[in-house]
Amino acid sequence: MIQIHAQKSVAFKTDDESPLPQWIGAITDEDAHIPSNRDYVGTGTVNAKGKPDWKATAPLSRQSIWLKKEMKLPADVRKATMKIVGLGFYELSINRQKVTDAVFAPLWSDYDKTVFYNTYDVTALLKKGKNQLSVLLGNGFYNEQGGRYTKMKVSYGPPTLYCSLEIELKNGRTVCIVSDNSWKYSPSSITFNSIYGGEDEDARITSSWKPVVIQKGPRGVLRQQIAQPVKMMEYFGVKSRHQLTPQQIAKASNAKHPIPAGTFVLDMGQNLAGFPQIKVSGKAGQQVRLYLSETLTAQGTCNQKQSGSPYYLNYTLSGKGEKASDGKRIETWHPHFTYYGYRYIQVEGAVMKGDENPDGKPVIEDIQSCFVYNSAAKIGSFECSNPMFNRAYQIIDRAIRSNWQAVWTDCPHREKLGWLEQDWLNGEGLVYNYDCRSMIEHTLQNIADAQHANGAVPTTAPEYIYFKGKWLDPFAESPEWGGALVALPFLYLQHYGDDRMVKKYAPQMFRYVDYLQSKDSCRILKQGLGDWYDYGKGRSGFSQNTPMPLVATAHYYQWVKLTQKAAAMSGKTAEANRYAILASEILQAFQKEFLHVEKAASSEKSSSDAVVKDAVEKIYYDSGSQASNAIPLVLGMVPSQYRKQVLQHLIDDIHAHHDRLTTGDVGNRYLFQALLENGYADLWYKMLAHDDVPGYGFQIKKGMTTLTEQWNPEMGASMNHFMMAQINNHFLPDIVGIRIEQGRVIIAPHPMGDLTWAKGSTQLSNGKQVAVAWKKLADDKIEVTVDTDKDVEYEIKIDYDETEHDDGTYRGKHVFVGKCAK
């Protein structure tokens, strides 16, 4: 069996006699002119001004290449196992048959720390006699040198391959094929590929094979890929078409992008992450160009202003496609190593099938959008009597899927970075609806790799970008983001009843909270992004309503409290005691710094009409915003004697804003929890069940098919973010009433507002389903149907008015009638 050779530069090894693989490619690291010692910004060679000089890098260093190995097997194959890393991304074929339908493999990482490899059973693809291994390599995040739009330039080296194929033959022999200098390479027909900028392919290009060179390869440790692969999961056809007029083309064209006559725009009906696939006929050398976008300009052309420009795809025809019944040669093409967030496709240089074609342009015989996302299973469902809530659930799902790639990204176009706060702030919505176990484990590995030597955890993982200047302090490290290191293991424990992640990452938690302690001032933390993208006047961004130190310090307290638990669970008594003391000190400082107790004069008239003035306490935190009060309420930071007044201040603020929220990325979670946990479900419902801004219904009214970055999509920014999806945390646990708490299943429906029914389901960690459906009856009664396997035990939380149900636990399918528990 192939084992991992446990050294820093990890190798695949069968036994002492078997050869070790080598990193191979088309160009050495030295000839590529990419320094091997990468910093956070990413560097090319340095020019005279001291800045990275990406123009000095060798063209071959960013070229997509084919690598091949031909071999002859003397007997039939009993079993064959391939372990492979192709960086940035690879496509593996054996005897011209693709080994997997995964795309963008392996999942990206900080290649200085971890390099993920994949394992495949390839027994059925090999045969006695001649065989050929072929690997197509692209750049991915491993080698982003720019060229069009890019968020950053960062390269760990030129494209490279490392693999080992162990073959057990039926004659008893074992053969091991590894990547070494016996392989050959050829530039592929993909002439440009960038994860941020797009891809060009010239199908006329043929192979020209040369010997490979031995490369240094990445510095990271090889690890078996943890999360599920990314695949083409769904497909969407054309919804509508708009032919651009000469006037529109003239207004939209510019020197950088002259739009040719005959250009048209397709609406694919769904914003998504992925790429188009075309079937096209035409002559060799003709080119089709595709621009992609989420929105359109006033002229009706694709608008990439908010999503990263320029991004486009070029395909040059070979003229040698499959012969159709009408004699045409049809070529099928989609990009291999790039994706984008888009709904619209601007087609340049071609016509659609059935169009008049006096100029003999290439003909698009068919086109579809390939929705590309992580193949983790969807395990949850939700539906209720409110159509807007149902649609909100759908557009949130589309946004989550779009941003579930190798990491949970912020957006599928402009950044594609693993911003960490959304993973745990939307944690319940994720784990109740999708199988997140491997993804949480994968994310925690990325976070651990990103943790700095001083214990700091950056806002993104993998950390491909390093913030400088005025952006350094708010963006480099924010406790609401870096705290995912602490929050995710406890989400894993809460939902799956598994403490492995807590214990595994406890040492990293210790280092992180120690770092936060080193940055505090009298136990107040003053760094980070605060309640990012909250709702106020103008375009969202930095918190407008809630002071950043309050948000930062509250999360500092939360992470210390949870780390105290992690220490206790890990048997680290001294650390647990130390963090208990630290948490107490933070709490005291929090009250001193942020708690306001005001005496306000109020008046009442006595029976004799004499005016009597009383002193009424007005108690709130800091600015008194919704987030300012909701966060300490949910985190248990409010002294018991003040909880009622602080809660009332929160409710008053909501009413003062016409029963609308003012919170953002961070505050939403706490605002929603504060209302639902304190008997204000009807207000929570009213706050969200409308089509005004701020709210989910407004985005739906404006035709959004994915959740947007801002509460008001008309203000711009990304149209495909899931960071504001916190309503999804409550569809199943609160409205439907399925709660999972460390192995316990609790059924506690919450009818609210004008809801008359709701239903939903989820899957337990053992794969068993739990489904609940409830409907309102007369006299404020509710009928609840619970359907589970007979070996699934659950508790029911409703007040029975019938005596046939005993308190306690149930199994299997039951129907309950009663009133919701208070």
pLDDT tens sequence across 293-325: 999 999 999 999 999 999 999 999 999 999 988
Greater model confidence, 609 or 306: 306
Rounded Cα–Cα distance for residues 630 and 632 (Å)? 6
Do the domains spanning 3-227 and 232-374 agree at the CATH topology level? yes
Residue 789: pLDDT over 80: yes
Tokens 């390479």, located at residue: 185
CB atoms closer than 10 angstroms to residue 112: 16
Least confident of 38-42, 44-48, 86-90: 38-42
Which stretch of DSSP H or E encloses residue 429? helix 427-431
- CA 754, CA 776: separation in Å to the nearest integer? 10
Q: Determine what percent of the chain is predicted with pLDDT higher than 70.
A: 92
Tokens standing for residue 533: 């993208």
Candidates 3.30.2090.10, 1.10.150.120, 3.50.20.10, 2.60.420.10; CATH matching 737-820: 2.60.420.10
Q: What integer best gives the mean pLDDT of the chain?
A: 93
Q: Does domain 3-227 correspond to CATH entry 3.30.360.10?
A: no
Q: How far apart are CA 801 and CA 194, in angstroms?
A: 64
Peptide bond into 106 cis (omega under 30): yes
Provide φ and ψ at 441, rounded to 5°.
-60, -45
Can you give the pLDDT at residue 37? 46
- How confident is residue 105, by pLDDT bands cut at 50, 70 and 90? very high
**pLDDT over 80 at 649, yes or no:** yes
Q: How far apart are CA 277 and CA 143, in angstroms?
A: 25
Name the pLDDT band for 6 (thresholds 50, 70, 90).
very low
Rounded to 5 degrees, what are φ and ψ at 219?
Answer: -90, -15
Determine the pLDDT at residue 16.
Answer: 56
Whether the CB-CB separation of 273 and 400 falls below 8 Å is answered with no
List beta partners, residue 467.
none
Alpha helices (H) along 623-716: 626-634, 643-656, 667-677, 681-688, 696-701
Examine the pLDDT at 39 and tell me if it is beyond 80: no
Residue 325: the pLDDT is 86
User: Within 10 Å of residue 277's Cβ, how many Cβ atoms?
Assistant: 16
Residues 6 or more apart in contact with residue 681 via CB below 8 angstroms: 675, 734, 750, 752, 753
Residue 476: predicted pLDDT: 87
Residue with tokens 């097997």: 73
- Give percent of the chain above pLDDT 90: 86
Average pLDDT score over residue span 180-187: 98
CA 265 to chain centre: 28
- Measure the CA dihedral 80/83/86/88, to 10°: 140
Residue 612: its pLDDT value, please?
44
> Strand, helix or coil at 542?
coil
**Of 521, 409, 536, 525, which Cα lies nearest the Cα of 460?**
409
Interatomic CA distance for residues 20 and 486, integer angstroms:
38
Beta carbons of 794 and 811 less than 8 angstroms apart:
yes
Q: Is the pLDDT of residue 498 over 80?
A: yes
Class of the CATH-defined domain 232-374: mainly beta
Query: What CA–CA distance (Å, rounded) separates 546 from 653?
Result: 13
751 residue type, one letter? P
CB 697, CB 392: distance < 8 Å? yes
Instruction: State mean pLDDT over 353-379.
Output: 98
Nearest to 156 by CA among 328, 38, 6, 271: 38
pLDDT for residue 445:
99
Which residues neighbour 583 within 8 Å (Cβ) at sequence distance 6 or greater?
557, 560, 561, 564
Q: Which residues contact 577 (CB under 8 A, 6 or more apart)?
A: none
Phi-psi label, residue 302: left if phi above 0, alpha if psi -120 to 50, beta otherwise: beta
794 has pLDDT over 60: yes
* Confidence band for 466, pLDDT divided at 50, 70 and 90: confident
**What is the mean predicted confidence (pLDDT) over 602-625?**
67
pLDDT (0 to 100) of residue 725: 98
Where do the structural domains in the chain lie, given as residue ranges? Answer: 3-227, 232-374, 381-735, 737-820
pLDDT of residue 51: 66
Which tokens sit at 338? 């790039």
CATH architecture of 381-735: Alpha/alpha barrel (1.50)
What token pair was written down for 594? Answer: 């942020």
Tokens standing for residue 592 = 């001193």
φ/ψ (deg, to 5) at 592 = -65, -40
Q: Is the pLDDT of residue 525 over 80?
A: yes
The 8-class DSSP code of residue 460 comes to B
CB 820 within 8 A of CB 796: no
Instruction: Report helix angle 548-569 to 573-594, nearest 10.
Output: 160
Q: Please, which pLDDT band fits residue 604 given cuts at 50, 70 and 90? A: low
Residue pLDDT, tens place only, 44-63: 455 555 566 777 889 999 99
| pLDDT value for 223 | 98
Identity of the residue numbered 265: V
pTM of the model: 0.95
Distance CA 405, CA 391 (A): 23
Q: Is the pLDDT of residue 137 over 80?
A: yes
pLDDT band at 539 (very low <50, low <70, confident <90, very high): confident
Burial of 450 per CB tally in 10 Å (0-12, 13-18, 19+): buried
Query: Is there a contact between 467 and 415 (Cβ–Cβ < 8 Å)?
Result: no
